[in-house]
């Protein structure tokens, strides 16, 4: 199944980080982000990325996300996603890959309601910045 056209890119800044000890060496980390999106859904994004980190920081860790983009056209696009994250080997940077789905009531963006997107992003804890892109997954 190939990846198709780009849906857009995003640059988000962490506004809060909340680690929660789950026991057994696992920690749930909830990072709230805000920032800009470009491409087919330009606007301001607000959302939370949740990662379950195990005791071995060099192993893949599952993530989920939920949020919304307030588009420049005035509509709202709600998004959710999931995947895995792993450290890149460059300092504390983490690469996230996964899938995302969106919903909206805007008839001009109705195609998003039936689409699965591939997500790739990189988080740099030193700058608290998450940068990434989404592509249609056909």
CA–CA separation, 79 and 102 (whole Å):
4
**HEC readout, 84-133:** EEEECCCCCCEEEEEEEEEEECCHHHHHHHHCEEEEEEEEECCCCEEEEE
Domains in the chain: ranges and CATH: 3-137 (2.40.160.20)
* Candidate from 20-24, 39-43, 53-57, 105-109 with smallest mean pLDDT: 53-57
- Rounded mean pLDDT of 49-78? 94
- C-alpha of 69 from chain center: 12
- Rounded mean pLDDT of 20-46? 96
pTM of the predicted model as reported, rounded to 2 decimal places: 0.92
- Report yes or no: 51 and 14 within 8 Å, Cβ to Cβ: no
Supply the pLDDT for residue 131: 98
- Rounded mean pLDDT of 2-31? 93
pLDDT at 50 over 80: yes
Cβ-Cβ contacts under 8 Å for 94 (sequence gap 6 or more): 85, 86, 87, 88, 122, 123, 125
pLDDT at 109 over 70: yes
Q: How confident is the model at residue 137 (pLDDT cuts 50, 70, 90)?
A: confident
pLDDT at 4 over 80: no
Supply the pLDDT for residue 3: 67
């Amino acid at each position: 199944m190939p990846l198709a056209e780009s849906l857009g890119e995003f640059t988000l800044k962490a506004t809060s980080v909340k680690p929660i000890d789950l026991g057994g060496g696992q920690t749930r980390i909830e990072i709230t982000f805000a920032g800009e999106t470009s491409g087919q859904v330009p606007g301001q994004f607000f959302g939370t990325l949740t990662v379950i980190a195990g005791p071995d920081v060099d192993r893949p860790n599952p993530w989920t996300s939920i949020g919304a983009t307030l588009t420049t056209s005035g509509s709202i696009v709600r998004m959710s996603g999931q995947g895995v994250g792993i450290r890149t080997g460059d300092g504390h940077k983490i690469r996230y890959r996964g899938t995302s789905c969106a919903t909206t009531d805007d008839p001009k963006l109705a195609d998003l309601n039936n689409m699965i997107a591939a997500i790739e992003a990189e988080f740099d804890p030193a700058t608290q910045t998450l940068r990434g892109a989404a592509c249609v997954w056909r």
